[in-house]
Chains A and B, each alone.
Chain A
Amino acid sequence: MGFISRGFRGKRRDTASSSRLPPGQYVVTDYPVLSAGPTPRIPLSEWTFVLEGEIDQPKKWTWEEFRKLPTEQVTKDIHCVTKWSKFDTVWTGVSIDTILDGVETAAEYTVQFSYGGYTTNLIPHLYFWKSAKWIRGIRLVNEDQPGFWEVNGYNNYGDPWREQRYWGD
């Protein structure tokens, strides 16, 4: 078993805020916006989501097709590596379990890639830079491929509970 684990549910934690806050973090009530570049302007008619790489038949969805997939709503605490945390953020979307449904692959790693060129590895419930904005696909790969920040000082895994911010943490 490699890095691919189904679902984003993670470990249950005590609801008391002190135990919900990873070490070195502080709670915010607003919503900080971080961006490594301009917001890509992709017409919905050109938008696609792909699953590619180590897979016999790559999968591709148009916006209309993607919107027909089953969705679910999750409420999660998010932890930014720049030290802010925000509790109880609500997200609606397509589960990774749905994306990978029926897929046979020997790949042990994934790379998520975005409009705008951002990449990161796909690991659930870790620092928030692992959640790419403007995502346009997931690539299944045999070797670990560090992404946009992971090649430049940031930790390849990034567990907020172990404060894995930078290389060597």
Chain B
Amino acid sequence: MTVQQSDLKLDGNAIGGLLREIFTMEMTAAIGTCAHCGTLHAVGEVEVYMNAPGVVVRCPSCGEVQMKVVRGHGKYWLDLSGVRCLEFSAG
């Protein structure tokens, strides 16, 4: 069995809809500061793993986890501990 990483890894645009549900606004242009390495990236640039029990977002610079999103029972569990700061325009 061969699994290509490209089949599993997506870019941040893949979670545009999910983040719009949570923040009720367009978030792919938001700028996040990685809590691990301090690098700034637009949400649309991050690395996204969706073939998992939840969505895992990783920093494209250092590879560490920036964000986890789990959906179930009509709830969201949102872990942003890997994002030191998220800058986005007021709606």
Q: Which residues of A contact B (CB under 8 A)?
A: 31-39, 80-82, 117, 129, 148-149, 151-154, 165-169
Contact B53 A34, beta carbon cutoff 8 Å = yes
Contact B51 A33, beta carbon cutoff 8 Å = yes
B-chain residues with CB within 8 Å of residue A117 when the two chains form the complex: 64-65
Q: 5 A-B residue contacts at CB 8 Å?
A: A34-B51, A36-B56, A37-B49, A37-B65, A38-B9
Assess A152 versus B72: contact at CB under 8 Å? Given A35-B49, A38-B9, A39-B5. Answer: no
Q: Which residues of B contact A (CB under 8 A)?
A: 1, 3, 5, 8-9, 49, 51-54, 56, 58, 63-65, 68, 70, 72-73, 75, 77, 79
Tell me which of A33, A149, A166 contacts B8 (CB under 8 A).
Answer: A33
Identify the interface centre among A35, A80, A81, A151: most chain B CB within 10 Å of its CB.
Answer: A35
How distant is the Cα of A117 from the Cα of B36 in the complex, in angstroms? 13
How distant is the Cα of A35 from the Cα of B70 in the complex, in angstroms? 14
Assess A36 versus B70: contact at CB under 8 Å? Given A151-B79, A153-B77. Answer: no
How distant is the Cα of A85 from the Cα of B79 in the complex, in angstroms? 27
Assess A154 versus B56: contact at CB under 8 Å? Given A33-B3, A35-B8. Answer: no
How distant is the Cα of A168 from the Cα of B72 in the complex, in angstroms? 11
| Number of cross-chain contacts by CB at 8 Å | 59
How distant is the Cα of A152 from the Cα of B1 in the complex, in angstroms? 31
Contact A152 B70, beta carbon cutoff 8 Å = yes
Contact B72 A166, beta carbon cutoff 8 Å = yes
How distant is the Cα of A169 from the Cα of B73 in the complex, in angstroms? 10
Contact B54 A38, beta carbon cutoff 8 Å = no
How distant is the Cα of A38 from the Cα of B64 in the complex, in angstroms? 10
- Which residue of chain A lies nearest to B64 when distances are taken between CB atoms in the complex? A117
How distant is the Cα of A165 from the Cα of B53 in the complex, in angstroms? 10
Tell me which of B52, B73, B79 contacts A35 (CB under 8 A).
Answer: B52
How distant is the Cα of A39 from the Cα of B49 in the complex, in angstroms? 12
Contact A153 B75, beta carbon cutoff 8 Å = yes
B-chain residues with CB within 8 Å of residue A37 when the two chains form the complex: 49, 56, 58, 63, 65
Assess A149 versus B63: contact at CB under 8 Å? Given A33-B3, A38-B9, A154-B70. Answer: no
A-chain residues with CB within 8 Å of residue B70 when the two chains form the complex: 149, 152-154, 166
- Which residue of chain A lies nearest to B70 when distances are taken between CB atoms in the complex? A153
Contact A152 B65, beta carbon cutoff 8 Å = no
